[in-house]
């Protein structure tokens, strides 16, 4: 199954300027997701990071992976954003940055659901550009209801 931006907006609450998933290329409910983020010079963060050499901040690469993980988690639980639940980070382990991500790059986000127990998810995530590893990490996330 794939998802366009309209389906993504129905799945997670993120909106501009923090929405960092443009398309879901493949999703296997309860298993994995492959999504993409098109990185353009128009991104708001490039004006200050860095003016002479624009580079996507590492924390935003992790956020893009976490958003892909949230889509997978919500899909696995059959939830949508209107159901008043949010996905929160509970931990990030082993984050490693292997190459800079620059305007014009297409960040491919690969996330695997390692396990799920009592509303806590563990994901293994990696993002590549042209097949080259850019970032990898493991996430712990939890779903919480909001008022």
Q: Are 127 and 69 in contact (CB under 8 A)?
A: no
In tens digits, the chain (147 residues) has pLDDT values of: 999 999 999 889 899 999 999 999 999 999 999 999 999 999 999 999 998 999 999 999 999 999 999 999 999 988 776 677 888 999 999 999 999 999 999 999 999 999 999 889 999 999 999 999 999 999 999 988 887
Among this protein's residues, is 49 annotated catalytic? yes
Q: Which of 6, 14, 44, 49 is catalytic?
A: 49
Domain boundaries, the chain: 5-145
CATH of the domain spanning 5-145: 3.10.129.10
Structure tokens at 48: 């200050």
């Amino acid at each position: 199954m794939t998802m366009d931006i309209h389906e993504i907006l129905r799945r997670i609450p993120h909106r501009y300027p923090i929405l960092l998933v443009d398309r879901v290329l493949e999703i296997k409910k309860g298993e994995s997701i492959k999504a993409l983020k098109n990185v353009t010079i128009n991104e708001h963060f490039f004006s200050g990071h860095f003016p002479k050499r624009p580079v996507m901040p590492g924390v935003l690469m992790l956020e893009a992976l976490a958003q892909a993980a949230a889509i997978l988690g919500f899909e696995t639980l059959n939830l949508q954003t209107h159901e008043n639940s949010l996905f929160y980070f509970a931990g990030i382990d082993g984050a490693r940055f292997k190459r800079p991500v620059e305007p014009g790059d297409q960040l491919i986000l690969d996330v695997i659901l390692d396990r799920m127990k009592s509303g806590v998810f563990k994901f293994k995530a990696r993002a590549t550009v042209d097949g080259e590893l850019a970032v990898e990490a493991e996430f712990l996330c939890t779903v919480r209801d909001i008022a």
